[in-house]
Chain A
């Protein structure tokens, strides 16, 4: 009986090794981290948004992206955006303490759901693109809300506040968005 058990365990060991080898040899799936995908989306939001000229001090002023909460995403974005530009403008990343610090930002990403309503209120009518993955963000007056669709990150748009703020969102964004409100 014990010999059988020993054999069984050896077989089990072989199986584990086979699986490990399979894992080594298996082709890489096209999967990314959630934050990585969100960073790329934020970058694309910047590329497909037109701010009023008054939003920038001059033609070379940077696009300022502020993060309220979501420190890990801010770090990832800061790293990923290095060397990138949108419409010839480079990026500057700021970690913000709360809604009271969003002045001067062009994009505000809200990672702290508890601050979402305050940020929406503070950004109202100002040329600031608001983005968050907080539940109900778009319904509460936010402009772009991240959602999960199975293993994919998707987003919904709310054109009412962006239009009121003088932002022009490229129709490509509407085409890719999971849903569009106020269109």
Chain B
């Protein structure tokens, strides 16, 4: 009797690969077949529609990312240049301050960073894109919104809330902020100058923007800004009260930004130079206890040069492939020291990244599309001769590769999104993050249910500055559950609101001695926004609520002062912006933010968080346009409230090497602004 030996049912890697390919092809091929059988003449009858009916027809979207906001599988806010201009905003902080869910905190070289949904999101947890280029600095993954990213040159800010790594990659952990600057569509340009004065000090911001569609094929644009702005005119008081200083002449911010883009047919090129230099009066090494201060402020410097090239290929009608390559050269966290103790910080390494992305979008039929892609980057630093002196391990080098896919299916009942990304970093290993979205958009009402995971790989300086005894830093993993509903009322009103729960595992944070992974932390909350638009009034009222549901990372916690909150994060926030269109040429805006009490380390309690009182900041700005000129006047912080920005973690760094953290900075009080603009 013959015995049949069955092959063992194990899958070789080749068979797994074959299955992956087969899976994708099966889905694609069947759906393409469906499209082939679809009535080709569906578009012919449109010529017979009435004007009324025509204005209701929804157009087919070529890209799965180009859906209207209410149909996108994400919680998205868009802020237009008109809204930005109306408020008199001069930087990204001014813009984000009016978005429910965003807060601000301070790090240890006087830079201001961003918190989101109750979590300190400064280091690598929010991705900042400028014209599609990630502008988080490569050392720790930070970005600096204060006096930075000139609002005057911004065409639009898009905020995608919630974990977004499946689509955007590693730093898109809690949110993505995508800035689009003014481009070739201007067919002209503008220049502006504004004076920002507070107390007996005054600062300036100058901007220039131009863009031209030269021919059908050629386009060109450029944006430039220079700022010299005093961050604060307030008095700084150290945690133990032994040091006090007026910040008026010790907190100058000097950013310079240059962003040039050009294109020919489907090729787009871009160059960005982002020079963020600010005075750091607190010094890394800590202030001496006896005034007068012997040192001028350090100069904290973060310089980024980025170039990108992107080419949109469309080999067949329903397939687009857009290879993109980005090179970045940075000097992150560089310091020109006044204090000899800080000299080692002048010797931090340079950082470089070479990044290649290859996304392909297949429009399978009117209902479904598939996006697949591969993303590779290589990060490296030089040897950084001084880094050993501050305990850093250099040079650092790693490679990262990822594959991602997203399938969108629109049906009568709902739109489904399924996606995921697998990424592997040669230092910290691999992670898979899924993305699931269910969206139903009626004419006026929409509902979204979203589940996303995101991860953050450790950056070069995080790896270099790991805490003693920490062998390796693991990837940080975030899980988010979100739901959103929205309704467009008659008469110009619309209301949108979301509920969320976000949980971070293996949080990468600075524990007072260096970087390490922490225990899980999570927050839950809600954000809502009511909008009204008419010929006479444009208004937006927002509210955000958040609370910490898990606080495994003790150095982020505001306990015992506010046991259910993290440091510097208010539980309740109200935002308001209302623009009265007095005439066609004259707009008058009031904007403001209310933040409930927060936990922070302040004098006279250096070693335990105190409660900062709630604060209500109100601004007003009026703009008159005459021919090609615009004239604006405004007052920021009308009621001269103390805008206290505390450190969002117990870092034990400056100024007194207290384990509690740094004493807060107080930003400028009532500030006056005059702006003149010219459009050509």
A residues lining the B interface (CB < 8 Å): 2-3, 5-6, 9-10, 12-13, 15-17, 19-24, 26-34, 36-37, 39-41, 43-44, 48, 69, 80-81, 84, 112-114, 116-117, 134-136, 150-154, 172-173, 176
Contact = CB atoms under 8 A, between A and B. Distances in A.
Interface stretch (B213-221, B263-271, B560-568): B213-221
Contacts of A41: 51, 54
Interface residues of B, number: 61
Given A2-B10, A6-B9, A176-B55, A17 B30 contact: yes
B11 A31 contact: no
A9 B19 contact: yes
Given A3-B10, A31-B60, A48 B51 contact: yes
Q: Which of B366, B407, B410 has the most CB of A within 10 A?
A: B366
Contact of A17 (B11, B27, B69, B368): B27
A172 B51 CA distance: 8
B30 A20 contact: yes
Interface in B527-581: none
A139 B393 CA distance: 59
B212 interface: yes
Contacts, number: 172
Contacts of B20: 9
B489 to A, nearest CB: 16
Interface string B62-88: 000001111100000000000000000
A122 to B, nearest CB: 17
A12 B23 contact: yes
A25 to B, nearest CB: 8
B24 interface: yes
Contacts of B27: 16-17, 19-20
A31 B59 contact: yes
Contacts of B22: 13
Interface string B408-437: 011110001010000000000000000000
B187 interface: yes
B54 A114 contact: no
Contacts of B58: 29-32, 150-152
B59 A2 contact: no
Given A28-B366, A151-B61, A20 B49 contact: no
Interface stretch (B39-47, B324-332, B628-636): B39-47
B43 A33 contact: yes
B441 to A, nearest CB: 9
Given A3-B9, A9-B19, A32-B60, A80 B26 contact: no
Contact of A22 (B47, B55, B70, B411): B411
Contact of B410 (A3, A26, A172): A26
Q: Binding site of B, secondary structure by majority: helix, strand, loop or mixed?
A: mixed
Interface of B: 9-11, 15-16, 19-20, 22-24, 26-31, 33-34, 38-39, 42-44, 46-47, 49, 51-52, 54-61, 67-71, 185-187, 212-216, 364-368, 407, 409-412, 416, 418
Nearest to A41: B54
A36 B45 CA distance: 10
Contact of A26 (B55, B212, B214, B412): B412
16 contacts: A20-B28, A23-B409, A29-B58, A29-B410, A31-B58, A32-B42, A34-B60, A36-B46, A36-B59, A37-B54, A37-B57, A80-B47, A135-B187, A150-B70, A153-B54, A176-B55
A24 B32 CA distance: 9
Contact of B26 (A13, A26, A36): A13
Contacts of B365: 23
Contacts of A33: 43, 59-60
Contacts of B185: 113, 135
Contacts of A36: 43, 46, 59
Nearest to A172: B51
A5 B19 CA distance: 11
